């Protein structure tokens, strides 16, 4: 028995990085995966690579009309939804105009980051609940960040949006429980995962190698994570193995959030 046998799953932002790893792993575990993104060319390739019952659908998570169209598509093609992974997100550094620090932030950029990272998740949960409320084992997995738990001085909008995702996850979890819907909702908090999201921050060639080394040296487990590390956590939360788990936050961060700076030395 595969862990997601015959479950209908929609993953947002699945044309690369963590979303792609989730889509591929879930398909290996028997899910019918709806790969969604705004990058249609790459998304098509991911769905084609998975094959079988999977498909690609254009879905800009910040647009309610896209969610309405996606809901119709899912109902017509798959009959319903069992799992939604709200993965799409932007750091904002590349996609919007800076700066992103609290003193100088550009308010339009602030809104754009929240539109994708927070409105996208809120809309996903709204339409996910409507699609899943007849499922006997629905699961919504929201990809937040370690930045949803601690502050990031030069990516303040990102951190704020991810903190809101963390909290909204718990509201969704409790709402669904009160309504007696069989829908659980949990958040995952990745640390530093090596994906294209980091491209603009890491640079190229030797500069990139040095930057990765510097970041790795600050991670208790000594390395940046791989997309699959997050995908396995999402697999647990998506599957019925976690049927008694709702409203939690699962850190996948190599131990970053386990400690704090300025801890007493070993004397």
Catalytic residue annotation: 158
4 belongs to the binding site for ligand NAD (CB under 6 A): no
- Which 33-52 residues touch ligand NAD, going by CB under 6 A? 37-39
User: Is residue 70 within 8 Å of 37, Cβ to Cβ?
Assistant: no
Considering the rule CB under 6 A, would residue 251 count as an interface residue with ligand NAD? no
Q: Is 202 helix (H, G, I), strand (E, B) or coil?
A: helix
CA distances from 49 to 30, 36, 58, 146 (A): 15, 14, 17, 31
How many Cα atoms are found within 13 Å in the side-chain-facing hemisphere of 175? 14
Q: Does 19 bind ligand NAD (CB under 6 A)?
A: yes
Measured from the CB of residue 120, what is the shortest distance to ligand NAD in angstroms?
A: 6
Q: Judged by CB under 6 A, does residue 12 bind ligand NAD? A: yes
Q: Least separation, in Å, of the C-beta of 181 and ligand NAD?
A: 24
H or E element in which residue 187 lies: strand 183-190
Helix axes 17-28, 227-238, angle to 10 degrees: 50
- Tell me the two tokens of residue 55: 């498909």
Q: Which is nearer to ligand NAD, 117 or 239 (CB)?
A: 117
- The reply on whether position 196 binds ligand NAD by CB under 6 A is yes
Out of 17, 124, 128, 254, the residue judged to bind ligand NAD by CB under 6 A: 17
User: Is 92 an interacting residue with respect to ligand NAD (CB under 6 A)?
Assistant: no
- Whether 216 and 224 have beta carbons less than 8 Å apart is answered as yes
**Contact footprint for ligand NAD (CB under 6 A):** 12-13, 15-19, 37-39, 59-62, 87-90, 116, 120, 143, 145, 190, 192-193, 195-197
């Amino acid at each position: 028995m595969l862990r997601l046998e015959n479950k209908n799953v929609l993953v947002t932002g699945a044309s690369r990085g963590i979303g792609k790893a989730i889509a591929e792993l879930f398909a290996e575990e028997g899910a019918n995966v709806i790969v969604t993104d705004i990058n249609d060319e790459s998304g098509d390739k991911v769905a084609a690579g998975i094959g079988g019952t999977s498909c690609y659908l254009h879905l800009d998570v910040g647009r309610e009309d896209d969610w309405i169209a996606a809901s119709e598509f899912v109902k017509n093609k798959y009959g319903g939804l069992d799992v939604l992974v709200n993965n799409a997100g932007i750091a904002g550094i590349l996609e919007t105009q800076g700066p992103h620090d609290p003193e100088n932030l550009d308010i339009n950029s602030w809104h754009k980051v929240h539109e994708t990272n927070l409105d996208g998740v809120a809309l996903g949960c709204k339409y996910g609940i409507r699609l899943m409320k007849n499922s006997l084992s629905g699961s919504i997995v929201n990809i937040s960040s370690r930045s949803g738990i601690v502050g990031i001085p030069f990516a303040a909008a990102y951190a704020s949006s991810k903190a809101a995702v963390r909290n909204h996850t718990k509201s969704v979890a409790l709402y669904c429980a009160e309504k007696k819907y069989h829908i659980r909702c949990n958040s995952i908090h990745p640390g530093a995962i090596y994906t294209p999201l980091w491209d603009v921050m890491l640079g190229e060639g030797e500069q990139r190698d040095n930057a990765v080394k510097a970041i790795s040296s600050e991670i208790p487990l000594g390395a940046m994570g791989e997309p699959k590390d997050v995908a396995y956590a999402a697999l647990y939360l998506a599957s019925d193995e976690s049927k008694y788990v709702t409203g939690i936050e699962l850190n996948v961060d190599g131990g970053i959030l386990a400690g704090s700076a300025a801890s007493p030395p070993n004397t």
